[in-house]
Structure 1
Amino acid sequence: MTTPTTPDHITWARVSSCYLPLANPISDAKVLTGRQKPMTEIAMLFVEIQTASGHQGLGFSYSKRAGGPAQFAHAREIAPAVLGEDPNDIAKLWDKLCWAGASVGRSGVSTQAIGAFDVALWDLKAKRAGLSLAKLLGAQRDSVRCYNTSGGFLHTPLEQLRVNASASIAQGIGGIKLKVGQPDCALDIRRVAAMREHLGDAVPIMVDANQQWDRPTAQRMCRTLEAFNLVWIEEPLDAYDHEGHAALATQFDTPIATGEMLTSAGEHWDLIRHRAADYLMPDAPRVGGITPFLKVAALAEHAGVMLAPHFAMELHVHLAAAYKTEPWVEHFEWLEPLFNERITIHNGRMQVPTRTGLGVSLSEQARAWTREVAEVGVPVN
């Protein structure tokens, strides 16, 4: 007769608020239209979880420009809900954390705070299995197509755009994304034309208007940009204008990409059912972690929609590797100082890490940039 073993359980969690400074203030169309100020830092929310058996997991979420303190405050409040729970029960824990803060809703800041816990639980589960997150989920491929965004912001002069793009291609990155959406559309067209001439016809180019066009402007710009053989036109309209995006996706050959600003699986379903995106761009931290991201991916696959997760390549390289059709992953080197490990880029593709879990650990620099910490439970020595 065998004696039943006691399930492992969570004994400790640490929530940290870390602010990543950017070397140069970042401007996109939202700045040039007066809706936002240049971005100077990124607020990172880290969650570290440990079990009685000594298993550990690391997760994160983030906020740009505003919202970091709110994410940290919500995460600190709900953290006690994970203590004593079996870390295998990830979906159950997501629901428990959601109900712990149900009065503030099931999207936005609340789910973004939950997302850091959810990612930490998946990281722990993959580590315990001795697998990378991609392998745990069922990888379709060992590398994914990648494109660079950080070199193409609107504050960057045209000549520097050319330098940045050439450097990205030399680094092994497969495509280049340019920001558009300036008040003077002629400037956007000139920059796209100059980049296409500089890179030639073979290099994939994407553009991103960051929701700054109205419907008539989007119609005219999409028609003009057809000539440049773009991979996609991103967020030509307000993120919640699903009907407008659907009309553009139907009318033009160039694919429409959107979804990064949505903060729940339900919001993505509304976008998908309107056929408003050729490329869906879910952001796992924004939708509440890996658990809801997988729901979004399943809906997208069923609808035959292509996938291009937004930002946070350290996480999304794993999730994209598990998607059925070939995705794109956005290369942003901004988060690299936060981690001790690096992702390899080669021949236009991002190599999926083979280290267990996410394959990243927090750097000493991340600890140095941490402003607030809250702990619950007792860590295992």
Structure 2
Amino acid sequence: MMTSADRIARVRLSSLYLPLDTPVSDAKVLTGRQRPMTEIAFLFAEIRSEQGHEGIGFGYSKRAGGPGQYAHAREIAGEMVGEDPNDIARIWDKLVWAGASVGRGGLATQAIAALDIALWDMKAKRAGLPLTKLLGAHRDSVRCYNTSGGFLHTPIEQVLENATAALERGIGGVKIKVGQPDTRADLARVDAVREHLGDAVPLMVDANQQWDRATAHRMGRALEEHALTWIEEPLDAYDHAGHAALATALDTPVATGEMLTGVTEHAELIRAGGADIVQPDAPRVGGITPFLRVAGLAEHGHLQLAPHFAMEIHVHLAAAYRTEPWVEHFEWLEPLFNERLEIRDGRMLVPERPGLGITMSERAAAWIAERYST
């Protein structure tokens, strides 16, 4: 086996909690399945090699799971020390097997995500390239749409103002949340936004898994007149057959995949024909290494790609996808970093800085609850 002179010398983990300005509610809150979200838990990994190369990565969890991700990462991070940081795939397998007794998916692999992403960041920095250039870019910018302005706790008048502000900022599309117990309220909300935006602006809706099959079909047919870019998570994330039937029945594309936590789960979704648009999330599937496998499956299936959340990571991964993708714009994470992504003419520009192009801000450091170094 070929080796390099460099080795991983240190891994530092940070558990931090990002407070949200306003409690956030989607359909899962209105149906009583979850409480409003007031903070997001983050797991940051900072890796340094013997030759002084550094990489940073992060994962996250909403409402629950943050302490578990941090605890599991702390248990397995020492397995990386002494390894060649360029052997990312082999390190990923080593970390998975180090914690295999609790599974090779879900929280166990989500804890690996920050470590894996940090390795890719280091590798790109070492090459002096933005991550997408290291992967093999197809474009230097990606279509983007805003989600954060359209949650269900937000009055419709404010949703309309938020949509206008997003477009004025240069964002290319708008997504709003639906899935309320009263479907008439959903239809009225979509009607208002479409009328406000006009027919030319891309508009998406997201039911956050809260419809049953019959409701999804009825709502899908009722929404056809609005020429939506997609309907997201109309059904339970694991109802692949239901999603497939809906995708066949509707002209509007069906998007899903953000809640799936591994390559195998995405493979089952794609095999079932359950999505026109696949929405993998690198931190949720275990990092960039498994994300690239999911993207390969999606490309093989001639599917569109629209990664979920974490635009700071996904702008790079989307820019490396063969066909034109979308990236989701959330400004929530901006306080964590010193840098800002540039948006222009409906597109998010890939940073020209090496690696992911992000560094943790002093403000983020103040939110750290625990820290561990190997």
Q: Same fold (TM over 0.5)?
A: yes
For the residues of structure 2 that align with 1:110 and 1:367, how far apart are their CA atoms?
A: 25
For the residues of structure 2 that align with 1:17 and 1:75, how far apart are their CA atoms?
A: 10
Aligned positions of 1:149-168 closer than 5 A: 149-168=147-166
Q: Does the Cα contact within 8 Å between 2:3 and 2:84 map onto a contact in 1?
A: no
Aligned positions of 1:5-84 closer than 5 A: 7-84=5-82
How has the CA–CA distance of structure 1 residues 6 and 26 changed in structure 2, closer, same or farther, with 3 Å as cutoff?
closer
For the residues of structure 1 that align with 2:306 and 2:196, how far apart are their CA atoms?
A: 25
Q: RMSD of the TM alignment (CA)?
A: 0.9
- Corresponding residue number in structure 2 for 1:379: none
Structure 1 residues 137-167: Cα deviation after superposition (integer angstroms, max 9, x where no partner): 0000000000000000001111111100000
**Residues matched between the structures, number:** 373
For the residues of structure 1 that align with 2:156 and 2:287, how far apart are their CA atoms?
A: 37
- Offset of 1:7 from its aligned partner? 1.6
Q: Which amino acid aligns with 1:287?
A: V
- 2:215 is the counterpart of 1:193: no
For the residues of structure 2 that align with 1:74 and 1:248, how far apart are their CA atoms?
A: 38
For the residues of structure 2 that align with 1:236 and 1:6, how far apart are their CA atoms?
A: 48
- Corresponding residue number in structure 2 for 1:203: 201
Q: Identity percentage over the alignment?
A: 71
Aligned positions of 1:1-381 closer than 5 A: 7-376=5-374
For the residues of structure 2 that align with 1:33 and 1:7, how far apart are their CA atoms?
A: 56
Q: Which amino acid aligns with 1:363?
A: S
For the residues of structure 1 that align with 2:100 and 2:33, how far apart are their CA atoms?
A: 30
Q: Which amino acid aligns with 1:68?
A: G
Structure 1 residues 190-231: Cα deviation after superposition (integer angstroms, max 9, x where no partner): 010010100000000000000000011111000101010000
- Offset of 1:106 from its aligned partner? 1.0
- Structure 1, unpaired ranges of 5+: 377-381
Q: Does the Cα contact within 8 Å between 2:7 and 2:84 map onto a contact in 1?
A: yes
Structure 1 residues 344-378: Cα deviation after superposition (integer angstroms, max 9, x where no partner): 000000000010000000000111000000100xx
Question: What secondary structure sits across from 1:350 in the alignment?
Answer: strand
For the residues of structure 2 that align with 1:228 and 1:356, how far apart are their CA atoms?
A: 41
Question: What secondary structure sits across from 1:333 in the alignment?
Answer: coil
Using structure 2 for the length normalisation, give the TM-score.
0.99
For the residues of structure 2 that align with 1:281 and 1:242, how far apart are their CA atoms?
A: 14
